[in-house]
Amino acid sequence: MNPPIDRAAPTSGPRVYIVTGAASGVGAATALKLARAGARLLLNFNRSADLAAAVLQACRAAGADAHLLQGDIADDAVCRALAREAVQRWGRIDGLVHSAGTTRFVALADLEGVSAQDFQQLFGVNTVAAFQLARAAAPHMGPGSAMVCVSSSSTLSGNGSSLPYVVSKAALNGLTLGLARALAPKVRVNAVLPGLIEGRWMRDGLGDETYQKVKSRYAEGALLERVATPEDIAAAIAWLLDPACLMTGQLMVVDGGFGLGKPPAATGGR
C-alpha cells in the first residue's frame, strides 16, 4: 500500500512558476507578486515584447530568477517548450498561471458580427492552451503544486465582450473542474473569475470614453463600490497557488460583489 501523499509537502529552494500572458495586466501583476515572494519564473508572452521586457526587469529587480519565452500558447509546441524550459532550468514545475487571453469586442446581439473563426481563435488561446499547458507540465509537478486559470465572471451572466469570449471562458471553467479531477491528488486546479478589471486591455477595446462610463457604472453597482485592479486578481491567484490552500476544482469570483448587486434602497414602506 502506498503511503498517503502530503499535499503541502515542501520542495527545496524557491518555487517554480510558469505565467502566461505575463506582458501586461493580471499576468504582469501576478509575475511581480510571485517575484517579490522569491519565486523562479518563466514568463510567456506573444506579441508585446517591450512590455514583457519591462516586466522581466521588474521581476529581476525584485530578486527573482526570471526568464522570458515568447510564443503563442494556442500552439501545443509552445506549451511543451515552456514546460521543457522550466524543467531544464530548475528541475521541476510548482505552478502554472494561465493568464493569457484574447477577445473580440462585438456586441452580443450582433450575431452576424462573429464567425466560426472567431470562436476557434478565442478557444485556442482561452481554453485549449490551458489544457495543453496542463498536459505538458503535469508530469513535472509534485505534491503541493497548483494550476490557476484566469477565467471571467461573464460566464455567470452571459454578458461579456463577445459571445465567443463568454463561451470560451465558460469552457475554461469546465476544463478547470475536469483537470482538478484528472490531476488530483497531486496537483490542485482552480480558476479565478474576475469582473471588470482596470487597465489597458478594456480601455483599448472599448475606447477611453466608453471604458470610463462602464467602469463608473460597474463601481456604482458593486457592493465594495470599486473595480478590481490587476493586483487584486494577482492576490487571489497567489493564494490559490499557496500549498497551504486546501482548494481544488473551485471557481473563485473576484468582482467586488458586483454579481450580488446592491439591494434596493429602503422606502420606509412594508
Return the active site residues.
Answer: 165
95-114 CB burial, b ≥16 within 10 A, e <16: bbbbbbbbbbebeeeeeeeb
Q: In this structure, which amino acid lies at residue 91? A: G
SS3 at position 67:
strand
Q: How far apart are CA 192 and CA 188, in angstroms?
A: 13
Q: How far apart are CA 37 and CA 128, in angstroms?
A: 30
Q: In this structure, which amino acid lies at residue 250? A: Q
Omega cis (within 30) before 185: yes
Q: How far apart are CA 181 and CA 176, in angstroms?
A: 9
SS3 at position 187:
strand
CB 233 within 8 A of CB 173: no
Residue 135 grid coordinates: 498536459
